[in-house]
């Protein structure tokens, strides 16, 4: 049975002491355990990866993740952090292809494919993000855009590698806007993405891959989203910055 995953993307928020406090509050809220077959990942700013990892310690249900990794292995790339460096620091997850990276930092499909390959080579699980902007949704061509993003970034992988990928569908129009995709819109796109996996890798593999929904997930709408058969959890931005709200979302898994 594929895992349910509730990942928080803290983006560029919090000071170090606030990050520690938030992590500690989340941990104590999870002391009674997570829902069955569910894990949570805190994707924190790079500066906080090690302190948060140290606070979390060794658990099988709460993990730390990075928000990006470089498209290069090592060398003269000022300001970048490679997947190899993350792996050597025992960071198990990295978000790749977030829409903010695509729109603000020039991450093209080709760059994202390279980052995915390097993360997998390093032994890190990539959380691959895809999703359409508002005008594409309005034009009704959202499936073909997401198909092209998925094809470009991950469908070249072999069956054993694709099983290590987590996918996050994040419609750009729902990110940070308070506008959530309806549970049916999320389900339709998730089922579509799974059908793309099915065609290349077969049913067993397609059924084993977790597909998360991201875009204004809150404790008040998470249950309805996570109840959909192809929605395997969430990638949560704003609501992951408040412990009570994030814990409420985890309980909906
Ligand atoms: P919000 O939950 O703030 O809409 O952000 C979603 C997101 O970008 C997660 O990666």
pLDDT of residue 1: 84
CB 95 within 8 A of CB 66: yes
Average confidence (pLDDT) over 38-63: 96
CB 196 within 8 A of CB 151: yes
Would the pLDDT of 95 be above 90?
Answer: yes
Q: Which of 142, 170, 190, 245 is catalytic?
A: 170
Any catalytic annotation for residue 156?
no
Bridge partner list, 232: none
Pick from 6, 8, 9 the residue to mutate for probing ligand 1's pocket: most ligand atoms within 8 Å of its CB.
9
Any catalytic annotation for residue 25?
no
pLDDT confidence tier of residue 163, bands split at 50, 70 and 90 = very high
Average confidence (pLDDT) over 176-180: 90
**What is the pLDDT of the chain when averaged over all its residues?**
97
Average confidence (pLDDT) over 133-158: 98
pLDDT of residue 243: 98
Pick from 179, 217, 219 the residue to mutate for probing ligand 1's pocket: most ligand atoms within 8 Å of its CB.
217
Q: Which residues line ligand 1 (CB under 6 A)?
A: 9, 98, 170, 175-176, 214-217, 235-239
- Gap between the Cα atoms of 39 and 240, Å rounded: 14
* Residue 212 Cα to ligand 1 middle (Å): 12
Q: Tell me the fold of 4-250.
A: TIM Barrel (3.20.20)
pLDDT confidence tier of residue 58, bands split at 50, 70 and 90 = confident
Atom of ligand 1 at shortest range from CA of 11: 10
């Amino acid at each position: 049975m594929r895992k349910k995953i509730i990942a928080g993307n803290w983006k560029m928020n919090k000071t170090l002491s606030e990050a520690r406090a938030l992590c500690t509050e989340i941990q104590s809220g999870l002391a009674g355990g997570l829902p069955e077959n569910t894990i949570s990942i805190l994707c924190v700013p790079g500066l906080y990866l090690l302190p948060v990892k140290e606070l979390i310690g060794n658990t099988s249900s709460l993990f730390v993740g990075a928000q990006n990794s470089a498209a290069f292995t090592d060398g003269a790339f000022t300001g970048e952090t490679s997947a190899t460096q993350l792996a050597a620091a025992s960071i198990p997850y990295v978000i790749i292809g977030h829409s903010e990276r695509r729109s603000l930092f020039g991450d093209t499909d080709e760059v994202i494919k390279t980052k995915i390959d390097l993360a997998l080579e390093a032994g890190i699980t990539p959380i691959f993000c895809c999703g359409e902007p508002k005008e594409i949704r309005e034009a009704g061509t959202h499936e073909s855009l997401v198909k092209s993003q998925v094809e470009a970034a991950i469908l070249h992988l072999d069956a054993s590698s694709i099983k290590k990928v987590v996918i996050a569908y994040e419609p750009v129009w729902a990110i940070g806007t308070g506008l959530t995709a309806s549970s049916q819109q999320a389900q339709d796109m998730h089922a579509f993405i799974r059908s793309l996996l099915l065609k290349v890798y077969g049913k067993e593999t397609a059924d084993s891959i977790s597909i998360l929904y991201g875009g204004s997930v809150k404790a008040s709408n998470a249950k309805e989203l996570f109840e959909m058969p192809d929605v395997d959890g969430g990638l949560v931005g704003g609501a992951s910055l408040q412990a009570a709200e994030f814990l409420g979302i985890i309980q909906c898994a």
